[in-house]
Amino acid sequence: MAKLPRILVVEDEPAIAELISVNLRHNGFQPIWVADGDGAQREINEVLPDAILLDWMLPGHSGLALARRWRADPRVKPVPILMITARGDEPDKVAGLDAGADDYITKPFSTQELLARIRAVLRRRAPESVADSVSIGSLHLDAATHRVSYEDRMLKLGPTEFKLLNYLMKHAERVHSRGQLLDKVWGDHVYIEERTVDVHVKRLREALGEAGAMVETVRGVGYRLTALTPSQPH
């Protein structure tokens, strides 16, 4: 049986916490409710959650202070944080995001919106795992040894280019937008400009040499990896 995603709910109002917890439980999540920062820290020390729903106004440490603390902790840093607050002004939203929150939900909110936001940050939490090995034509990638070869010649790729090539090879012949590549290759919900993808695609093509033509630009859409045909430049 698949493990349910653990959602740490840090909320000092019992009625709101109960409502959130019931809806999470009914939609395939495992909610863990605590009423303050100390309780949240104890839970995190014991088992790292998959995501944190964090109220801004809490007794003791504010949600803002907790978000800053957890973002400074290497162990907790990858965990997505969704800030829940009644403060809907733009400066408050900016403050929450600057403190390290990945998303910001203003009270009152609908259950469907909350669930959609949680699913979105969980999708973006981590890039796809690298496959053991994959081959397209004469291009071979072996994740275990971190090696790439073309026509039996070894190629040198940087770590990001390696992950990018792995994803494109696993999904060959499909067109991927820059946004999709950011989600699948970079993951970790860091806000990176889409132009970053273009830079790494250029580096990947250069590293592939003759096989660089396999990485095609689909104008107005994104990129696709395709097997070389005799008519293509070689």
**Protein fold of 133-225:** Arc Repressor Mutant, subunit A (1.10.10)
Q: Please, which residues bridge with residue 106 across strands?
A: 85
Q: Domain locations in the chain? A: 6-123, 133-225
What is the SS3 assignment for 53?
Answer: strand
Q: Is the pTM of this model over 0.75?
A: no
Q: Which CATH superfamily is domain 6-123 in?
A: Response regulator (3.40.50.2300)
Per-residue pLDDT of the chain in tens (234 residues, 90 and over written 9): 457 889 999 998 899 999 999 999 999 999 999 999 899 999 999 888 999 999 888 888 888 889 989 988 888 888 888 888 876 666 666 776 677 777 878 877 888 888 888 888 887 655 555 557 899 999 999 988 889 999 999 999 988 899 899 999 999 999 999 888 887 887 654 556 778 889 899 999 999 999 999 999 999 899 999 987 654 555
Do 6-123 and 133-225 fold alike per CATH? Answer: no
- The beta strands (E) that lie in the chain are given as 6-10, 30-34, 51-55, 81-85, 103-106, 133-136, 139-142, 147-150, 153-155, 176-177, 215-218, 222-225
